[in-house]
Amino acid sequence: MTDKKLNSVMALYKKLSRLPLGQRIFSKMVARMAPYFGTIHPYIKSLEENRCECLIKKRKGVQNHIGTVHVIAICNGLEMAMGTMAEASIPQHLRWIPKGMSVDYTAKAGTDILCVAEVTPEQWQVGDMLVDVKAYDTNGVVVVQGHIKLWISEKPQRA
């Protein structure tokens, strides 16, 4: 990390993930920050600097009419992975806001889905930043891939 101390999101993840059910508790806390995330019942499987993995279980509430995981649920999972990664990784002097998402549907999503968001440390610069996002089925097949565009800016100076 470019800053020496962990930010509050990463510190909370590291603290909770050591406890029984800690990752589940962390996942629920993150989902409550943006209540729409709760609709997919997300589980943060892994969080490290510049990378987050979020699991969506295949269940009736996220399926479409043909019995696969609906792409909008997958996009929701990708956005949660991206947002959690960004909050846990962004240098202390910067802030972010999403500007858009561009994805391709590459295969049917017939199983649980692992949503992954990843950047490199060098990408944390003022301006547009593309976060690589991919969703995998349980066989490792990419079912959705693309980018989420963020606007990165300096935090205003406090008086």
pLDDT > 70: percent of the chain: 97
Q: What is the b/e burial string over 35-61, where b = at least 16 CB atoms within 10 angstroms of the residue's CB?
A: eebeebbbbbeebeebbbbbbbebeee
Q: What local confidence, expressed as pLDDT, does residue 1 receive?
A: 42
Write out the two tokens for 146.
């693309």
* pLDDT, greater one: 35 or 11: 11
| Residue 4 in this model has a pLDDT that exceeds 70 | no
Inter-residue contact 150 to 128 (CB < 8 Å): yes
Residue 3, in any domain of the structure: no
The identity of residue 102, as a single letter, is: S
Residue 159, in any domain of the structure: no
pLDDT in tens, 53-100: 999 999 999 999 999 999 999 999 999 999 999 999 999 999 999 999
Query: What are the strands of the beta sheet with 113-118, ordered from one edge?
Result: 43-48, 51-56, 113-118, 127-136, 142-154, 94-105
- The structural domain count of the chain equals 1
Q: What local confidence, expressed as pLDDT, does residue 3 receive?
A: 42
CATH number at residue 100: 3.10.129.10
Place of tokens 């561009």: 102
Domain that holds residue 25: 8-154
Helix, coil or strand: residue 151: strand
